[in-house]
Structure 1
Amino acid sequence: MIAVEVAYTTPSPERDRLRPAHRERLNGLHAEGKVFASGPWPDDTGALLIFNTEADEAQRLVDEDPYFQADGVRVVSVREWNVVVGGPQE
Protein backbone atom coordinates (compact mmCIF):
# COMPACT_ATOMS: atom_id res chain seq x y z
CA MET A 1 0.00 0.00 0.00
CA ILE A 2 1.08 3.57 -0.62
CA ALA A 3 0.37 6.46 1.75
CA VAL A 4 0.12 9.92 0.20
CA GLU A 5 0.14 12.87 2.58
CA VAL A 6 -1.16 16.19 1.30
CA ALA A 7 -0.91 19.64 2.90
CA TYR A 8 -3.25 22.53 2.24
CA THR A 9 -0.88 25.47 2.24
CA THR A 10 -3.25 28.39 1.63
CA PRO A 11 -6.99 28.93 1.09
CA SER A 12 -7.69 28.33 -2.57
CA PRO A 13 -10.84 28.87 -4.66
CA GLU A 14 -9.27 26.58 -7.30
CA ARG A 15 -8.90 23.76 -4.75
CA ASP A 16 -12.51 24.26 -3.63
CA ARG A 17 -13.70 24.20 -7.25
CA LEU A 18 -11.80 20.96 -8.02
CA ARG A 19 -12.72 19.12 -4.80
CA PRO A 20 -16.09 17.61 -5.94
CA ALA A 21 -14.55 16.04 -9.08
CA HIS A 22 -11.53 14.91 -7.04
CA ARG A 23 -13.77 13.14 -4.50
CA GLU A 24 -15.85 11.57 -7.27
CA ARG A 25 -12.65 10.26 -8.86
CA LEU A 26 -11.45 8.86 -5.52
CA ASN A 27 -14.81 7.13 -5.03
CA GLY A 28 -14.38 5.49 -8.43
CA LEU A 29 -10.82 4.41 -7.58
CA HIS A 30 -12.11 3.02 -4.28
CA ALA A 31 -14.78 1.01 -6.12
CA GLU A 32 -11.98 -0.38 -8.35
CA GLY A 33 -9.97 -1.36 -5.27
CA LYS A 34 -7.16 1.13 -5.99
CA VAL A 35 -7.91 3.45 -3.06
CA PHE A 36 -8.26 1.83 0.35
CA ALA A 37 -9.18 5.02 2.22
CA SER A 38 -8.83 8.80 1.97
CA GLY A 39 -9.88 11.88 3.82
CA PRO A 40 -8.87 15.25 5.24
CA TRP A 41 -7.36 15.92 8.64
CA PRO A 42 -10.02 17.21 11.07
CA ASP A 43 -8.42 20.67 11.10
CA ASP A 44 -8.49 20.81 7.25
CA THR A 45 -4.71 21.35 7.00
CA GLY A 46 -4.34 18.46 4.58
CA ALA A 47 -5.31 14.89 3.90
CA LEU A 48 -4.14 11.29 3.82
CA LEU A 49 -4.81 8.87 1.00
CA ILE A 50 -4.00 5.16 1.14
CA PHE A 51 -3.62 3.55 -2.27
CA ASN A 52 -3.81 -0.21 -2.73
CA THR A 53 -1.39 -0.11 -5.68
CA GLU A 54 2.29 -0.18 -6.43
CA ALA A 55 4.17 3.10 -5.90
CA ASP A 56 4.45 3.95 -9.59
CA GLU A 57 0.70 3.57 -10.13
CA ALA A 58 -0.12 5.62 -7.03
CA GLN A 59 2.18 8.38 -8.30
CA ARG A 60 0.54 8.22 -11.74
CA LEU A 61 -2.94 8.49 -10.19
CA VAL A 62 -1.83 11.52 -8.16
CA ASP A 63 -0.21 13.13 -11.22
CA GLU A 64 -3.38 12.64 -13.30
CA ASP A 65 -5.66 14.36 -10.76
CA PRO A 66 -5.76 18.16 -11.29
CA TYR A 67 -6.65 18.61 -7.61
CA PHE A 68 -3.09 17.75 -6.58
CA GLN A 69 -1.70 20.49 -8.84
CA ALA A 70 -4.13 23.16 -7.60
CA ASP A 71 -2.96 26.28 -5.81
CA GLY A 72 -2.87 25.62 -2.09
CA VAL A 73 -2.29 21.85 -2.41
CA ARG A 74 1.13 20.31 -1.83
CA VAL A 75 1.95 16.61 -1.90
CA VAL A 76 4.15 16.20 1.19
CA SER A 77 5.09 12.55 0.74
CA VAL A 78 4.39 9.40 -1.22
CA ARG A 79 5.56 6.44 0.88
CA GLU A 80 5.14 2.70 1.00
CA TRP A 81 3.09 1.65 4.01
CA ASN A 82 3.19 -1.79 5.63
CA VAL A 83 -0.18 -2.91 6.93
CA VAL A 84 0.11 -4.88 10.17
CA VAL A 85 -3.54 -4.96 11.28
CA GLY A 86 -6.55 -4.51 9.01
CA GLY A 87 -6.28 -3.60 5.37
CA PRO A 88 -7.66 -5.39 2.33
CA GLN A 89 -7.93 -9.14 2.53
CA GLU A 90 -5.74 -11.01 0.08
Structure 2
Amino acid sequence: MLFALLCKDKPDHLNVRMEARPAHVEHLNKLSAEGVLKMAGPFLDAEGKPCGSLVIIHADTIEAAKALADSDPYTKAGLFESVDIKPFNWVFNNPEA
Protein backbone atom coordinates (compact mmCIF):
# COMPACT_ATOMS: atom_id res chain seq x y z
CA MET A 1 0.00 0.00 0.00
CA LEU A 2 1.16 3.54 -0.69
CA PHE A 3 1.21 6.29 1.90
CA ALA A 4 1.71 10.03 1.48
CA LEU A 5 3.75 11.75 4.17
CA LEU A 6 2.73 15.41 4.27
CA CYS A 7 5.41 17.16 6.30
CA LYS A 8 5.26 20.79 7.42
CA ASP A 9 8.46 22.47 8.58
CA LYS A 10 8.58 24.45 11.80
CA PRO A 11 8.83 28.21 11.14
CA ASP A 12 12.37 29.56 10.80
CA HIS A 13 13.91 26.07 10.57
CA LEU A 14 15.52 26.30 7.12
CA ASN A 15 18.94 26.00 8.78
CA VAL A 16 17.86 22.70 10.40
CA ARG A 17 16.70 21.44 7.01
CA MET A 18 19.97 22.36 5.32
CA GLU A 19 22.11 20.84 8.08
CA ALA A 20 20.18 17.54 8.03
CA ARG A 21 19.82 17.42 4.23
CA PRO A 22 22.83 15.19 3.43
CA ALA A 23 21.66 12.52 5.90
CA HIS A 24 18.06 12.90 4.65
CA VAL A 25 19.12 12.42 1.01
CA GLU A 26 21.20 9.37 1.96
CA HIS A 27 18.20 7.95 3.84
CA LEU A 28 15.87 8.50 0.85
CA ASN A 29 18.41 6.98 -1.55
CA LYS A 30 18.48 3.85 0.63
CA LEU A 31 14.68 3.66 0.70
CA SER A 32 14.61 4.14 -3.07
CA ALA A 33 17.10 1.30 -3.62
CA GLU A 34 14.91 -0.93 -1.43
CA GLY A 35 11.81 -0.07 -3.51
CA VAL A 36 10.13 1.68 -0.57
CA LEU A 37 10.40 5.29 -1.77
CA LYS A 38 8.19 6.09 -4.75
CA MET A 39 8.68 9.86 -4.95
CA ALA A 40 9.68 12.79 -2.77
CA GLY A 41 10.35 16.49 -2.84
CA PRO A 42 9.99 19.73 -0.91
CA PHE A 43 7.07 22.11 -0.75
CA LEU A 44 8.16 25.68 -1.48
CA ASP A 45 7.09 28.94 0.11
CA ALA A 46 6.34 32.19 -1.76
CA GLU A 47 10.08 32.92 -1.93
CA GLY A 48 10.86 29.51 -3.41
CA LYS A 49 12.45 28.19 -0.21
CA PRO A 50 11.64 24.70 1.15
CA CYS A 51 8.95 24.72 3.84
CA GLY A 52 7.87 21.09 3.99
CA SER A 53 8.02 17.78 2.19
CA LEU A 54 5.86 15.34 0.27
CA VAL A 55 7.10 11.75 0.46
CA ILE A 56 5.28 8.81 -1.11
CA ILE A 57 6.31 5.42 0.29
CA HIS A 58 5.26 1.80 0.09
CA ALA A 59 4.49 0.19 3.45
CA ASP A 60 2.33 -2.71 4.59
CA THR A 61 0.52 -0.75 7.30
CA ILE A 62 0.09 2.81 8.50
CA GLU A 63 2.15 1.84 11.55
CA ALA A 64 5.02 0.80 9.27
CA ALA A 65 4.64 4.09 7.38
CA LYS A 66 4.83 5.99 10.69
CA ALA A 67 7.98 4.08 11.64
CA LEU A 68 9.55 5.07 8.31
CA ALA A 69 8.55 8.70 8.85
CA ASP A 70 10.04 8.60 12.36
CA SER A 71 13.33 7.23 11.00
CA ASP A 72 13.87 10.17 8.62
CA PRO A 73 16.83 12.38 9.60
CA TYR A 74 14.62 15.46 9.17
CA THR A 75 12.23 14.07 11.79
CA LYS A 76 15.10 13.18 14.10
CA ALA A 77 16.53 16.71 13.72
CA GLY A 78 13.21 18.24 14.83
CA LEU A 79 12.50 19.93 11.50
CA PHE A 80 8.82 19.13 11.20
CA GLU A 81 5.97 20.92 12.91
CA SER A 82 3.64 18.14 11.75
CA VAL A 83 3.63 14.96 9.68
CA ASP A 84 0.29 13.73 8.34
CA ILE A 85 0.27 10.18 6.99
CA LYS A 86 -2.48 9.28 4.56
CA PRO A 87 -3.14 6.20 2.41
CA PHE A 88 -2.54 7.17 -1.22
CA ASN A 89 -3.86 5.77 -4.49
CA TRP A 90 -1.51 6.73 -7.36
CA VAL A 91 -3.92 6.69 -10.29
CA PHE A 92 -2.43 8.94 -13.00
CA ASN A 93 1.09 8.74 -14.42
CA ASN A 94 2.09 5.93 -12.08
CA PRO A 95 5.14 4.37 -13.78
CA GLU A 96 4.40 1.02 -12.12
CA ALA A 97 0.78 0.78 -13.30
State the TM-score, normalizing by the size of structure 1.
0.82
- What is the rounded CA distance, in whole Å, between the counterparts of 1:75 and 1:47 in structure 2? 11
Counterpart of 2:89 in structure 1 is 82
Aligned to 1:8: 9
Percent sequence identity over matched residues? 33
> Is the contact made by 1:68 and 1:74 (CA closer than 8 Å) also made in structure 2?
no
Q: Deviations over 1:13-53 (max 9, x none)?
A: 33321111011110110111101000001322211000022
Identify the residue that residue 26 of structure 1 maps to in structure 2: 28
SS where residue 78 of structure 1 aligns?
A: strand
* Mapped partners of 2:76, 2:23: distance in 1: 14
The question of whether the paired residues in 2 share the 8 Å contact of 1:68 and 1:75 is answered with no
Q: Work out the CA distance in 2 between the residues paired with 1:71 and 1:59.
A: 15
- The reply on whether 1:51 has 2:52 as its aligned counterpart is no
RMSD: 1.9
The unaligned stretches of length 5 or more in structure 2 are: none
Count of aligned positions: 90
Larger fraction in strand: 2
Instruction: Tell me the SS of whatever aligns to 1:86.
Output: coil
TM-score, length-normalised on structure 2? 0.77
Aligned to 1:63: 70
In the alignment, structure 1 segments of 5+ residues that lack a partner are none
**1:88 Cα deviation (Å)?**
5.0
